[in-house]
């Protein structure tokens, strides 16, 4: 795949910059535009087409998505890839520097999950669920566990590997996984984070489990949410 660069970073408009040398202020200059962080979130597990990004961000218009992609590219956070013929599709991908922000997303997610006003019933993309697993994973609860769990979320497959007290998630084939979970991210999250019984979710007809059911029950104990902050 060929990488393309849209504009030079020096061409970025600075009308909303803070004029502050603090690196945190500069981070907000780079990422503070509405939707920018969520566009990045959708790209953590590999390149995506424009249409795929919109599918993961249904509240984002095509115009604003185009603007955010241009801004993030100008900042060096993402770049465009051109698939060779016969596909000839344009994809967007995080740069190596962009990918290094993953721990920030995880820390921010854990912090914000403590908010008394956080509403977990809102839209929840596949990338949201997969990133949240890394953020909420408790190594102590997974001691001695070796498992490969497949997630089939709409048109995307993810493989989660738990071993030696660590978790790794990637977009990959899930053949041979010990457990395969299929369904809308919000319903799978209801079991993993909300304590909803798997059987009740299966009864809706939207969630399917295949493989080690005992592992599914164990999985729902590995991601404790932090206590809510005082209101």
Q: Between vectors from CA 210 to CA 208 and to CA 211, what angle results, nearest 5°?
A: 155
How confident is the model at residue 13, as a pLDDT?
53
Same domain, 113 and 188: yes
Same domain, 110 and 29: no
- Single out the residue in 100, 120, 140 at which a domain terminates: 100
How confident is the model at residue 123, as a pLDDT?
85
The first and second tokens of residue 92, run together, are 């967007």
* Total domains present in the chain: 2
How confident is the model at residue 17, as a pLDDT?
78
Same domain, 66 and 152: no
Whether the full predicted model's pTM is greater than 0.95, yes or no, is: no
Cβ–Cβ contacts within 10 Å for residue 65, how many?
17
How confident is the model at residue 8, as a pLDDT?
44
Same domain, 127 and 207: yes
- Single out the residue in 73, 100, 127 at which a domain terminates: 100
Pick out the chain residues at pLDDT < 50: 6-11
Q: Which domain holds residue 161?
A: 106-219
How confident is the model at residue 176, as a pLDDT?
95
The CATH number of whichever domain residue 35 belongs to comes to 1.10.10.10
Half-sphere exposure of 84 (CA within 13 A, CB side): 2
Residue 227 belongs to some domain of the structure: no
The CATH number of whichever domain residue 123 belongs to comes to 3.30.1050.10
Same domain, 91 and 177: no
How confident is the model at residue 211, as a pLDDT?
97
CA dist., res. 69 & res. 62, Å (int): 10
- Single out the residue in 68, 100, 132 at which a domain terminates: 100
Alpha helices in 169-230 (DSSP H): 185-192, 198-203, 213-219
């Amino acid at each position: 795949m060929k990488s393309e660069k849209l504009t030079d970073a020096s061409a970025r408009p600075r009308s909303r910059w803070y004029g502050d040398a603090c690196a945190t202020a500069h981070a907000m200059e780079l990422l503070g535009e509405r939707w920018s962080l969520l566009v990045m979130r959708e790209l953590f597990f590999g390149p995506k087409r424009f249409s795929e990004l919109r599918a993961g961000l249904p509240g984002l218009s095509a115009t604003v998505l185009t603007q955010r992609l241009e801004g993030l590219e100008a900042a060096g956070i993402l770049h465009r890839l051109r698939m060779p013929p016969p596909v000839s599709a344009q994809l967007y991908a995080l740069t190596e520097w962009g990918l290094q922000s993953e721990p920030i997303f995880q820390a921010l997610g854990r912090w914000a999950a403590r908010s008394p006003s956080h509403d977990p019933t809102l839209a929840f993309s596949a990338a949201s669920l997969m990133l949240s697993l890394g953020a909420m994973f408790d190594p102590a609860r997974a001691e001695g566990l070796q498992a490969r769990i497949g997630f089939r979320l709409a048109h995307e497959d993810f493989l989660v590997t738990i071993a030696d007290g660590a978790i790794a998630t990637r977009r990959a084939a899930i053949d041979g996984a010990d457990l395969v979970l299929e369904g809308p991210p919000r319903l799978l999250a209801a079991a993993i984070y909300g304590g909803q019984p798997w059987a009740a979710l299966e009864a809706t007809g939207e969630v399917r489990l295949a493989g080690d059911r005992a592992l599914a029950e164990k999985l729902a104990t590995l991601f404790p949410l932090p206590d809510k902050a005082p209101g």
